[in-house]
Structure formats: structure tokens, C-alpha cells
Structure 1
Amino acid sequence: MTYIQCNFCNSMVDADLYLLQVCATILPTQLFVSTVIERFHVLDWLSFSGNTSSITPPDSESDTPMLESCLTFLASLVSLRTNLGASQSRLSQLEMVTLLCMGDKTHSQLMELMPERCGTVQSRDFESALAEVAEYRAPNLEASGNMQQGMYVPKGCVWEELYDPIHVLLRAVHRRDFQNSMDRYNEYIGQLGKVRPGTNAWPPYREPAPCHEAYGDPRRILKSRVFHSVVWIILYKALTQHNVSEHVMSLVVYLLEMALAVTDPTDHPTQVLISSFLFGEDRHVNDNDLENWFESDWLSNNLRTTIDTITLPPQPDVVFDSDSKFIYY
């Protein structure tokens, strides 16, 4: 049992996420994003020298999942509204859609797996939500003579309008649960001819619902120059080193879309008057000094800024021990 399972998620993972979302709306954006990057230990991956803090060389196989986890966390933070104003009926619908997208379920399975706040027997939203998002597939008699139970399957509109990969990732106990939902999504859109055979679509990330008026929008952290530096590095490495996964790219593009959604064009009323802003500028920056790659949090200007030179830190000396294992000094 883990704290993301239905028995505990309401009082554990959802509460933790809520606290972090409140912090994201209050703390300085640069401090918050820098802390997240540090806690997920992705500075080595973001570095162009690869020896920022550890005494061993970075392992790309272990660093890439950490980068995916970091971006998934940011996407969850800015898009989920479980405790930021979502209605009870909306939550019931979302939880049911999440369960059905991971696999067809019986009525009793849905009742058992729905989080406590949304899926108790007393919940008046359960049956109405089920009728809105699911179709009942009647029991079938198998060739072996066994009777297959009747199952609820998601309606077509669920895949097109309601399937939320970020929420599925939050509720998925195993990674394969999320992958099952993506396989089913690709199967659905493949039947409609929306993707070429043999190709897979990116996850259909959703525009988050508005927050309650008592809260700020956690997407404000995406207007941080630190986040813009991280995006620049990921896109550069994807273009030049080809070591960035499709999942990471999909998350980066989604987060950029969310950053654009909360960018107010009136933040910089002089944006069309200053020629240096209009054409951007060349920058000479230090490796991993993410707070100083750009001069401001203005996304428009940062997108037009050219990073001309990245200065790497001095390389450490390498000393071999008796077991032929090297260490850094």
C-alpha cells in the first residue's frame, strides 16, 4: 500500500500537493523553482560539464527519469485543482474517468477504488458521474463456458475531452497503469484516423480549471527566469544531443503553453518601443547559474534572447585509487 492509493490519497498526496501549490503562489518564483530543481537532483543533467556537485560522473540512464519526474511534478503543481476550487461533482467525474482510462472496471471495482471523498456509497455524484462518462458492456459467455462480468468502459467523449494524463500519473500506483491509459488513448484516436499507423500521439494535456478566488494561480512559477533557463537547456540538448525523451518534450511544450497562458502582455508596456528588446540580445552566461541566464522574467524577451556563450567551471583533477576507480577532488 502506498500513500497515493485511494485509501490514503485524500489525506496524504492530495494534501501534500495542496500545501506545495499554496507555497508556489506565495513564495518568490525563482526560489521555488530553484528549490524544486535542487530537490530532484537534476542540476547535473542540466549542466554542460556534468560535474556540478557529485563525485561520480552523471549517469544519463538515472538522470533522465529524475528529469521526467521533476517536469511531471511541475505539471501536476500547475494543472491540478483538487483542493484549489474544483467542485465535488467535477472531482467525482475526474476520478472516475481516471480509473476507467487505466482499464475497464466493474461497478464494484469503481466503488472500491474511488477515493474516499468522492466514492463512498453515500456520494450522490457517483451514479450520475458514471452515467455521464461510461457505457456498460453486458456480460459475455466465453468459449470456455465461463461468464465474463459486465464492465464499464469509457465513452468516446472521455478520450477527446476529459482524459487527463497528469491526473492519471498522480493516481497511477504503477507506471504501467499510466502506459495502459496512453495505449488505450492511442488505440481510440488510431481508430478515428487521427494518427498514422505505427505512431503514438503525445499525451493530451488539459487546460486547468480556474482556481478559487481565494488562491493565486500556481502557474505563476512558470514566469520565472529559472524555469526559462531550464527549458532552454532541455530544448538545446534535444536538438544537439538527441538524448531527450518524447515524454520530456511533451511536458516541456505543455509547460511552455501554460506559461504563455498566464503571461500578461501589459506586464511590459514598452515591449514594442525598445529595439534591444525587439530583437533580443546576446548573453554570456555561466554553466548552472540558472538565475542569471536571463535579465528578467519576461517570457517574450527571453524567447528572443540568444545565449551566445556558456562558461564552464574548471574541471576537477582525477586521481585513480588502487581499485582503478577514479574520484574527483
Structure 2
Amino acid sequence: MAWTKEMPAQPVVAVCGATGAVGAEFLKVLHDVDFPAKEVRALASARSAGKKLAFEGCGQVPAGDLTVEKMTPESFEGVDIALFSAGAGVSKQLRDAVVSHGAVMIDNSSAFRMDPDVPLVVPEVNKADLAWHNGVIANPNCSTIEMVVALKPLNDLAHIKRVVVSTYQAASGAGAKAMQELYDQTRQFLNGEELTVSAFSDQIAFNTIPHIDVFLDEGSDMAADVAPGYTKEEWKMVVETKKIFGDDTIEVAPTCVRVPVLRCHAESLNVEFDAPVSLADARRALMAGEDVEVRDDPAHNVYPMPGLLAGSDHVYVGRLRDDPSVEHGIAMWLVMDQIRKGAALNAVQIAQCLLP
């Protein structure tokens, strides 16, 4: 049964996991879009309770410090929207408490993405799926969000048959400790010191690692459905893309790679269609696509680059060209700030769609 509680025009918003990187971005995005909140609550674990977080304000909430409260089942009394980025275990533990208090959980973890009763939403692609939520809405994996925002205007031109995607994922995708490890290893490498490796499986400074998350054939709840040799991060892109588009016929062949970049994921895509799509039509469709920005003038070295797009809101497209290896194909390059659009902004955009 779909959710029937009416959302107030000025909701009470809880930011769950407020002291983490995505939690901080939630607060920034709420300010940047001037979300019409009546109140914003900062919730986190007991060890962060009492901490002060600077907040620039939004809606009826003035600029000033927010005091972090310990997140408990009782924290959601009076809350209308709960923005979660506290890990899958916490989300599963608190789901019933959130929903029973009448709040809508917008969850950034992998906890509910493939649950059949939970919509997996990227507003530019499938916001109509919000109509059947029952109190929980899932935010997709950041790499999936980046890809499907760019694919949507192309799929509207002609049905996409297959996508081959390689990701170039920033260290920040693995958290603050991973970013610090990139800093530390870079210094150690340049000083000729032994490298400290803990956040990643291998050296990340001056290296790339074709391994993100666990290999599913090593044992996983997803392993029964996955082709051997793929990681969980890669298989998320396969199953999430099908769910978001509502189309099991779209095939995705992903390779996910960690690169020594601090922030912003990049992706190389080869897209194959069922019918002819001209490069000119693809370019026009992408230029008109929602939250897509085309930066494509290779003759003048114009193309999106991760080091220049931190803090940006869009999916940036460049290196558009025909793919001569298939009958109907194009190739392109994408860049997106995975903390911004790939996590916090997408969740807040979902929240905006819920407003009356």
C-alpha cells in the first residue's frame, strides 16, 4: 500500500549521520536549495552527541549552530523527512521507528535499494515511482546515478540495448579515511618512505585499483544473480539501472576502478541502441537533458575533468563520438561530484518532489 500521509509544505527534517561527509553535504544542500524546512535536526551516534555543527540555514531555520542529538527510535517524533546516511545497518535498525512516527526515510545506503516495495529514485529519470513508496525511498549508488542521468535523454531517443561502462572513482567515495590515505601516501611516496595501506586493498597514490567492494563470487547475498568475477560495486550498477528504468532488457557491463582523485567520479560509456541514433541527435538530447551539462570541444581541450568540478550539481558530458564497433552506438565521458549529486543532492531532490 502506498504512503497516504500528507507532507506539510514546511516539513521537519532530520539529518541522520549528520557528522559524516554526506551528512555535512546534506546540510549544505538544504541551505543551497533553500529547502522550506520548519526545523532541521542533526542526529548521529552517541559519541557525537552535543557536538555543534555550523548550518547556514534554510526555510524557517536561521543560520547558526545545530546541536547534534543521539539518534534513537524516539528521535523521529514529529519528523516528516529523515535523510539517512548512517550505514545500511543503522537504516535497517531504525526503519520501523522512522515510518511508525509518520516520517519518510530517504536512505543513502544499500539497505533497501533492491527491495521490491521500495522505489529506487533518481528524480531526473523516474520520479513517478515516488507515487508508490510506503515510507522508505532509496537513493541509488553514486555511480549508477551518474550513468542513468546521462542515459535518460538518450533512452528517450531510442531504446538502449547495452552499456559498457568503466568507472574512475575518487578516493572520497571510500570515506574520509580513504581521502587522508591518499594524502598520506602521496607524501610518503614523494619522500621515499614506506607507504601506509589500510583504507584500500593496495597503494592508491600514483596507482589505480580495479577493485571496489567485495568480489561477489567470494560469497554474498547477491552472488546467486551475478556473473562470476564481478564486484558488488559493479553489480549494483547492473541491477540498479534495470530497476530505475523499469527495464530488465538493458544490459550493463561494468568495471569499477579506484583512482587517485580526491573528489568526483568519472565514467567512460559505450552505449548501444536498438535503432539508429545520430551523433547530432544524441548531442541535442543530452544538451536538453535535465541536470546534464555538455562540455565537449576536444579541439580546444574542453571536456569535463574531476579535479575541476568538485562541489558542482550536474552530470557533465564530453568526448561524444560514434562507436564504430557496433551498429548503433555512441561513446562518451562523464564526470559528477559523487558526494553532491551522487548522494546528498539526489536525496534532497527526492525530498523536494514529496512537497505539496
Whether these two folds match at TM > 0.5 is no
Please tell me the TM-score bracket, short chain as reference. under 0.3
Q: Which structure has the highest strand share of the two? A: 2
Point out the structure with max Rg over C-alpha. 1
State the TM-score, normalizing by the size of structure 2: 0.26
Normalized per residue, the structure richer in helix is 1
